[in-house]
Amino acid sequence: MRPAVPVAPYCSLEMLTEAKAEPQAKTACKPVSEIAFAEALRANQSMVFSLAYHFLRDRGAAEEVAQDVFMQLYRKLDELASPRHVVFWLRKTTSHRCIDYARRRGAQSTIALEETREPSAAQQRGDPLLNRRLRQLLATLAEKPRMVMILRYQEDLTPDEIAELLEMPVRTVKSHLHRSLAILREKIERSIGDIR
């Protein structure tokens, strides 16, 4: 029988960021970066994957982007000041990585949206055919307007938050939203006209 090895207690992300801010304070925690990264990963992995998946519409690509984002987080975690800063940084980095990935890939989509399954989530109310059609129409937008729409209507961010995240003026964000909604409205009206 082995002797009991003292294990450092688990510390929350808030405790760890406070410990980073006050290096003279003694904590009995495991190394800050290991626990902080594990907690940041656990708390935000679904948000990062969901953002990437809804933008790229490809599970494998979304997993690859999420992995890249969390690898970069592991390297930069010591530079981030608080849990809110971590979430902001993750959204910003994921958004930029998705746009870059889509541009590198060149093609809009390699897998039909109808053939993919949504990641596990709460049941959505409403018409599933309408939701699928809206996702298809959203996928026809250019990269930046599409990311603005996803951040606004999926992540429920304000135009000011989106502007800060994507490093663009607030008026540009509002313009993207206005134009994208007009484009989507026109496409929906045309598709309804085709049915009649």
| Chain segment 119-163, per-residue pLDDT in tens | 554 555 666 666 788 888 888 999 999 999 999 988 889 999 999
The CATH number covering residue 131 comes to 1.10.10.10
Look up residue 32 and give its two tokens.
Answer: 């800050």
Interval 28-36 mean pLDDT:
63
Question: How many domains are there within the chain?
Answer: 2
Q: Give the pLDDT mean for 167-193.
A: 91
Q: Quick one: 104 and 138 in the same domain? A: no
Output 11 or 173, whichever has higher pLDDT.
173
**Residues 105 and 35 reside in one and the same domain:** yes
70 and 38, same structural domain? yes
Tell me if 63 is assigned to some domain.
yes
| Residue ranges making up the domain that contains 189 | 126-196
Is the residue at 150 inside a domain?
Answer: yes
User: Which pTM was predicted?
Assistant: 0.63
Averaged pLDDT for residues 2-21: 44
Domain boundary among 54, 83, 112: 112
Residues 18 and 103 in one domain: yes
Is the model's pLDDT at 25 over the cut of 60?
no
Does 95 reside within a domain? yes
Residue 137 and residue 67 in one domain: no
Question: Do 91 and 153 fall within a single domain?
Answer: no
Q: Report residue 44 as tokens.
A: 């935000």
- Which is more confident, 188 or 114? 188
**Mean pLDDT, residues 152-181:** 93
Residue 74's CATH number? 1.10.1740.10
Q: What is the pLDDT of residue 22?
A: 54
Residue 109 scores a pLDDT above 80: no
pLDDT of the residue at 119: 55
Q: How high does pLDDT run on average in the chain?
A: 78
- In this structure, is residue 141 part of a structural domain? yes
